[in-house]
Amino acid sequence: MAYVSMGEAHRRITEYMNRFCDAVSYQDSSTLCRLLSFSSNSPPLLSLADALNVFQDASSLIRQSDKFSEHGEILAHLFRSLQSYRVGNLVEAYLAFEKFANAFVQEFRNWESAWALEALYVVCYEVRILAEKADKELTSNGKSPEKLKAAGSLLMKVFGVLAGKGPKRVGALYVTCQLFKTYFKLGTVNLCRSVIRSIETARIFDFEEFPRRDRVTYMYYTGRLEVFNENFLAADTKLSYALQYCNPNRERNIRMILKYLIPVKLSLGIIPKDELLRNYNLHEYIKVVQALKKGDLRLLRHALQEHEDRFLRSGVYLVLEKLELQVYQRLMKKIYIIQKQTDPARAHQLKLEVIAKTLRWLEMDMDLDEVECIMTILIYKNLVKGYLAHKSKVVVLSKQDPFPKLNGKPVGS
Amino acid sequence: MNQGANTQTVAPLDPNSMENRYGVDGNQPQISSYQYSTGSDGTSWTSHQPVENGNYSNSNYYHPQPTGPGTGNVQEMPNTASFTSSSASGTANVAQDYSGYTPYQTPSDPHNYSNTGYSNYYSGYQQQPSQQSYPQPAGTYQNTGAPYQPLSSFQNPGSYAGTASYSGTYYNPADYQTTGGYQSTNYNNQTAGGYPSTNYSNQTPASNQGNYTDYTSNPYQNYTPDAANTPTSTIATTTPVHYQQNYQQWPDYYSQTEVPCAPGTEKSSVASAYSQSFPVPAVTSEMPASNGQPVPSYAQPWRQETGSSQPAPSQQPGVAGSTSNDAYWMHQTSTVQAHYPVPPQNHYQSPLETKPLYETPFQGHQRATYPQELNSQSSIHQAPLGYRQPTQTTPSVDTQRVSKLQIPTNPRIASNLPSGFTKMDKDSSAAGATQRPAYVSVSMPKPKDHTTAMPDPGALPKSLRGFVERAFARCKDDKEKASCQAALREIIIKAKEDKTLCTRDWDTEPLSSVLYTDVTSTESSSTLISSLQNKSPTRRPKSRWEPLTEAKPFVKSPPTFSTGVKFGGWNHQNENNKKSSESFPKVDAVTGFKPSYAGQNSAKKNFQRPVKRQRFSGGAATAIDDEASSDSDKELTPYYSSAMTLASSAEEKKRRDSRSKRFEKVQGHSRGNNLHKPKNANVGNLHSRRSPALRLSRDFDESGNRAVEDIDWDALTVKGTCQEIEKRYLRLTSAPDPSTVRPEDVLEKALLMVQDSQKNYLYKCDQLKSIRQDLTVQRIHNHLTAKVYETHARLALEAGDLPEYNQCLSQLKILYAEGIEGCSLEFAAYSLLYITLHSNNNRELLSSMSRLSEEAKKDEAVRHALSVRAAVTSGNYVMFFRLYKTAPNMNSCLMDLYVEKMRYKAVTFMSRSCRPTIPVSYLVQVLGFASASTEGSGGKEIDGMEECSEWLKAHGAALIADSNGDMLLDTKASATSLFMPEPEDAVAHGDRNLDVNDFFTSSRTL
């Protein structure tokens, strides 16, 4: 930490307060954002933090001027938070920032126009980020992390401020997205429901009027929720919307969307191009897609096993696992095609023996009962048309379109 | 601010003044007085006196107090003794002492009482004392005697005329105990009982303890008569006339004061905790009364005393004492009244709201008042002053150290004073129990009381009862009694904490500690309150629980323990009272004046007692309530009885006999006792029921600031003593009783018993729940705990009791997280299966799967569970039923619950996919109907066939028979006809094995 003289510290603090008060009085949101953005680690803020550490009694400076003391509470908490943040005491920094945020939101509530929305966004973002950092610190100290939860309730409060009618409603979706991030991180996604209801049932405000970035984020998270519920059609809609409106330059965001959209599309029978997977660094899906194309059950299982942790964490494991039936279907189709080439007359009769033999080649050791069971399921799920003659151990395929394509419909429907 | 300043200033001042005073008093008067007392009382007294004298005479006296509460108690005892002695010994000495004190007083006064009014009072007091001198006091005493009579007419008549009346009054107090009316009643009684010492002692107990009602009533009643008898015989007769005139005016005051007292008590009771609150209220009321009508408050006690003395000749001895007391009182009242009023006001008003403030003010006031009194009436007042000063000092000390120190000090004192204690005990037994009797030779009646009391109680050690009785017997005044009660309470609580309640030799326990506490408590009411607050938290937390465990063996039940603790406090007070009473007798024997001093002290104590009560109420109010609630008679009697047994000496036996005789004589008392008993019993039941909760609540109340996390749960943990292996589960509605909780080794046996038991699940579940409860109550978290929960979880799985299983599993997760090695993998598998098959929550499944370690995935059970999950998610019924047959551990039990669904699913699939038919034999094989038995055995096959066809029919499948007579499933027909039948035997808890009838039958057989 560079040495800062008392006078310099005094100057920096006073300058900051001047800028803050000017920003508020001129309703200069962008300046205010810069003044509040901790996580940007901007040089001015860092130097201010150093100055605050030198000049301990910033509150006396706040009291010196009426202009400053008007925002005295906000500034005092902000300074304390910045000071703690600078010295690495993140828990303290969060606590002070939470107080600052409360004071700021209170002030924001009093401003009639929504000029400070951007600043509020920054505050919401910083609260969440600080809470996450503080939780990390708490965890490393062996204490129970609880700051993110507190941040969640604070954000909920902010959402309440914005969710009503009026110009400030535009900001509600941003806060909703911050809430999503918080809840997903906490694993309390069921708390999202109330927020979603509030957003989707409000007829007074068209969803399209929200900022695009917020809409994309919102759709991404709600799409993820649908994936968990295995509601593939809805998930496809939402994630596709997100992909459609996502800034094409934000590759990371696109990748995040694709991470969920691809499994959804796969389970709807839609297979992505390899380019897409490669372009967006989604290699974990390459083998899965190949298995689907080839009907290679072994490959699918290997792929799932290989990336099990990742798929489990992202929550697509079960979705991908269900692709197995499609792989079976592909396999049956291959057998059917081969039979058609060799013996067109009896091509529509798939002997369970043959299937079991095929599976053995794939190192899937199954007896006839199991094969029969799988065929039963395939027929039942309408992946195979036909019937199974139990007595003769033969699957009799329909002569018309024995392997219907999903065509965007989920399996079993 | 003033108060605070006063406290600070006072503390320093007091020591000095105290030392000086003590030095003076102790040097000459005390010793002499002791001697006198000893002469009058007998050897027992001498023994006590020496101790007391030593304390008093020594400048250490004050110092000791600061060091520890126990010392403070001891000091108090000496102080009282010294006072009485000083008064008895000679006015001249006292006067000198007081003169010496006066300077202190003045300084203390300014500090304490910033108010000019106080200074005036002081000056007036000083002047008056000087003028009054001994002769005047005597006159005053006489006068007081007269007024007393009228006053006594209220309560006294009953008490004196018939012991029954007293008992009645006492009983009422007992009833009131909870309400808080006690103090007022007590006061009335006390005053009525007139006698100061005896009455006070009785009163204080009664007022202080609802619990004690029996005690108080019995002992006190006895005492009062005795005391009255003894003193009155000589002095009372003469004095009454004068007093009457003076006091006639007082009656009015009394009436007024009485009224205020009652309300005050009520208020106080409400404000304060349970029983304790009562005492406090009473005090407060009294104090306000004294403030508003300072004279009246004093007058009441005095009047009552006088009245008591006058009404009954037998009481006259008491009157004599009272007269002397009255004289003191008079002085006090005249001078003191003014003084007191002011101080009380300050103290009480502020004190009521803030205890700390009170303490300081009280100290200051007390000190101030003491000096004033001393100055004003050298001889008479001196004694009071000396008392007060000591008390003041003690209070200050108490405030500073009281809470923590007192407890320890008591033991010390005991150790120091063992010889004295034994003597004390004797005294108490003779003089204390029938303290006055010893003095008057009327001791016989008291013994009776004691004896009566003895039989009733059964919970507390007899020796402890004897100790309490002794203490109360010594109490000169109500104040002393109150303080004594408080001290006794503390001692008993301590004893419980130390678990020495039963083991301690109460017969040899020095009363000095109690008496000291009395003085401190009475005089430094404010300080006491603070001290109580301070002390109560430290002591009570321990006492509540630790005592419980220990006490239980002694007392039969937790409530009794609590009562015992409370009673202990009361006992202390009683002891103090006894001591004071004893001192009074001594004084009486020596001179009439000494009694008067005692009376003054008592009066002061009365005022102060309330304070003490307040303290107790604040901290130990609940405890007091409990005590009060619990049958004080019963509990106390045990103590007494134990004391009796312990005291095997011939003297003790003689005393007992005499007591019993007295008891027989005192019918009124007995009546009173009877009356009290029912009430007490009721209260006791209520209290006993509440007691555990109360203790907890008390802890909170007492600690006040204490956060829940600060509670020492280890101290609260129960250590079971039950050796029964079998125990039915009963949901706890109160704190567990160690006698019904099994220790760990017994629980281990119980677990084995359950595991080996051939009885049904309901029995096992009941047993396991009781084991779990005992484990929880004793906070046992180890492999045994895990074993119990695992066993229960497996049994629950076996019986399909999922709710119970889930309870166990959630506990097991905690235990495993704590690193306790159990079958964690086995239960991880169960957990996986449960989520897969029953919760159907993908997120939960994903997270639990992602949490599985590599090691866990290699475990057979876990692998099996994962395979089952895969089979279920893919609908692979063949795989599922194969896994079902090969399930390790209890996995199949969890799968059992899914078999029905899986079969239905499978049949649905097949009837949709397969054509034209499927042989039932195939279904039997694939869908696990043949169970795990070898498929080759024909019989089982057939059983499976029948079971399968039954199942298929029940689910609407169409069955046909082919030419060979084999049953076939007509898939096409079945495809549309299959349905999931409503489970006929559906039960809310999901297992028909647990249907109501089974439950009833099983529960009957349990």
> pLDDT band at residue A260, thresholds of 50, 70 and 90?
very high
Report, as an integer, the average pLDDT of B265-284.
Answer: 35
CB atoms within 10 A of CB A271: 15
Are the Cβ atoms of A228 and B877 closer than 8 angstroms?
Answer: no
Report, as an integer, the average pLDDT of B182-209.
Answer: 37
Q: Which of A228, A369, A378 sits opposite B878 (nearest CB)?
A: A369
Among A390, A394, A395, the strongest candidate for a mutation testing the B interface, having the largest count of B CBs within 10 A, is: A390
**Nearest chain A residue (CA) to B854:** A309
Shortest Cα–Cα distance, A403 to chain B (Å): 14
- Using one digit for the tens of pLDDT, what is the confidence trace for B150-164? 333 343 333 333 333
A&B contacts, CB < 8 Å = 80
Q: Would strands B914-915 and A394-397 be described as parallel, antiparallel, or unpaired?
A: unpaired
- Using one digit for the tens of pLDDT, what is the confidence trace for A131-153? 998 988 888 887 778 888 889 99
Q: Which of A189, A313, A370 sits opposite B878 (nearest CB)?
A: A370
Shortest Cα–Cα distance, B829 to chain A (Å): 17
Interface of A with B in 14-43 (CB under 8 A): none
Minimum mean pLDDT range among A1-5, A229-233, B729-733, B758-762: A1-5
Are the Cβ atoms of A324 and B876 closer than 8 angstroms?
Answer: no
Of residues A289 and B725, which shows the higher confidence score? Answer: A289
Minimum mean pLDDT range among A30-44, A309-323, B977-991: B977-991
Asked if residue B836 lies in contact with residue B845, where contact means CB atoms within 8 angstroms, the answer is yes
Name chain A contacts of B926, Cβ cutoff 8 Å.
369, 373
Name chain A contacts of B914, Cβ cutoff 8 Å.
376, 387-390
ipTM: 0.82
Asked if residue B718 lies in contact with residue B738, where contact means CB atoms within 8 angstroms, the answer is yes
Name B961's bridge partners: B967
pLDDT score of B806: 86
Distance CA(B466)–CA(B484), nearest Å, equals 14
Of residues B305 and B868, which shows the higher confidence score? Answer: B868
Phi (first) and psi of residue A117, to 5 degrees: -60, -45
- Using one digit for the tens of pLDDT, what is the confidence trace for B576-620? 444 444 434 443 333 334 333 433 444 344 443 433 343 433 333
Whether the per-residue pLDDT at A409 is higher than 60: the answer is yes
What type of residue sits at position A65?
S
Q: Which of B879, B913, B925 sits opposite A376 (nearest CB)?
A: B913
- Using one digit for the tens of pLDDT, what is the confidence trace for B282-298? 333 333 333 333 333 33
> pLDDT band at residue B986, thresholds of 50, 70 and 90?
low
Shortest Cα–Cα distance, B701 to chain A (Å): 30
Phi (first) and psi of residue B914, to 5 degrees: -100, 145
Q: Which domains does chain B have, with CATH numbers?
A: 2-163+176-682 (no CATH), 738-896 (1.25.40.990), 914-977 (no CATH)
Distance CA(B732)–CA(B753), nearest Å, equals 23
Residue B354 CA to chain centroid, in angstroms? 23
Domain A324-397 has CATH 1.10.10.10: yes
pLDDT score of A241: 92
Interface of B with A in 916-975 (CB under 8 A): 916-919, 922, 925-926
pLDDT score of B989: 55
Are the Cβ atoms of B874 and A325 closer than 8 angstroms?
Answer: yes
Contact B879/A at CB under 8 A: yes
Whether the per-residue pLDDT at A199 is higher than 80: the answer is yes
The fraction of chain B above a pLDDT of 90, given in percent, is 0
From residue B60, alpha-carbon distances to B385, B392, B615 in Å are 18, 15, 26
From residue B892, alpha-carbon distances to B25, B863, B883, B948 in Å are 89, 14, 8, 19
From residue B658, alpha-carbon distances to A259, A377, B193, B634 in Å are 97, 99, 22, 21
Asked if residue B222 lies in contact with residue B451, where contact means CB atoms within 8 angstroms, the answer is no
From residue B108, alpha-carbon distances to B3, B7, B874 in Å are 12, 10, 91
* H-helix or E-strand spanning residue B981: none
Name chain B contacts of A379, Cβ cutoff 8 Å.
909, 912-913
Asked if residue A151 lies in contact with residue A110, where contact means CB atoms within 8 angstroms, the answer is no
pLDDT score of B760: 82
Whether the per-residue pLDDT at A261 is higher than 90: the answer is yes
Contact A344/B at CB under 8 A: no
Are the Cβ atoms of B913 and A391 closer than 8 angstroms?
Answer: no
From residue A317, alpha-carbon distances to A294, B847, B859 in Å are 20, 11, 21
Asked if residue A88 lies in contact with residue A45, where contact means CB atoms within 8 angstroms, the answer is no
Contact A332/B at CB under 8 A: no
- Using one digit for the tens of pLDDT, what is the confidence trace for B499-520? 655 556 666 655 555 554 444 4
Residue B468 CA to chain centroid, in angstroms? 16
Q: Would strands B914-915 and A386-389 be described as parallel, antiparallel, or unpaired?
A: parallel
Among B909, B921, B923, B964, the strongest candidate for a mutation testing the A interface, having the largest count of A CBs within 10 A, is: B909
Whether the per-residue pLDDT at A221 is higher than 90: the answer is yes
* H-helix or E-strand spanning residue B503: none
Report, as an integer, the average pLDDT of B492-499.
Answer: 67
Structure tokens at B372: 């004033």
Of residues B224 and B814, which shows the higher confidence score? Answer: B814
**Nearest chain B residue (CA) to A398:** B913
- Using one digit for the tens of pLDDT, what is the confidence trace for A329-382? 999 999 999 988 988 888 888 889 989 998 998 888 888 888 889 899 999 988
Minimum mean pLDDT range among A49-58, B201-210, B245-254, B816-825: B201-210
Minimum mean pLDDT range among A295-299, B570-574, B872-876, B934-938: B570-574
Whether the per-residue pLDDT at B432 is higher than 50: the answer is no
Contact B910/A at CB under 8 A: yes
Q: What residue segments make up the domains of chain A, in order of their start?
A: 6-210, 324-397
> pLDDT band at residue B931, thresholds of 50, 70 and 90?
low
Distance CA(B246)–CA(B298), nearest Å, equals 13
Structure tokens at B855: 């090691």
Name chain A contacts of B909, Cβ cutoff 8 Å.
373, 376-377, 379-380
pLDDT score of B941: 57
- Using one digit for the tens of pLDDT, what is the confidence trace for B9-36? 333 444 444 444 443 333 333 333 333 3
**What average pLDDT does chain A have?**
86
Are the Cβ atoms of A372 and B878 closer than 8 angstroms?
Answer: yes
Among all chains, which residue has been given the structure tokens 């000198």? B96
> pLDDT band at residue B462, thresholds of 50, 70 and 90?
low
**Nearest chain A residue (CA) to B925:** A369
Of residues B97 and B803, which shows the higher confidence score? Answer: B803
CB atoms within 10 A of CB B367: 38
> pLDDT band at residue B198, thresholds of 50, 70 and 90?
very low
Distance CA(B314)–CA(B239), nearest Å, equals 14
pLDDT score of B478: 66
pLDDT score of B933: 46
Interface of B with A in 806-845 (CB under 8 A): 842-843, 845
Whether the per-residue pLDDT at B340 is higher than 70: the answer is no
Whether the per-residue pLDDT at A164 is higher than 50: the answer is yes
Q: At what angle do helices A147-162 and A117-140 cross, to 10 degrees?
A: 170
Are the Cβ atoms of A380 and B909 closer than 8 angstroms?
Answer: yes
Contact A317/B at CB under 8 A: yes
Report, as an integer, the average pLDDT of B638-644.
Answer: 43
Interface of A with B in 197-216 (CB under 8 A): none
> pLDDT band at residue B256, thresholds of 50, 70 and 90?
very low
Interface of B with A in 509-568 (CB under 8 A): none
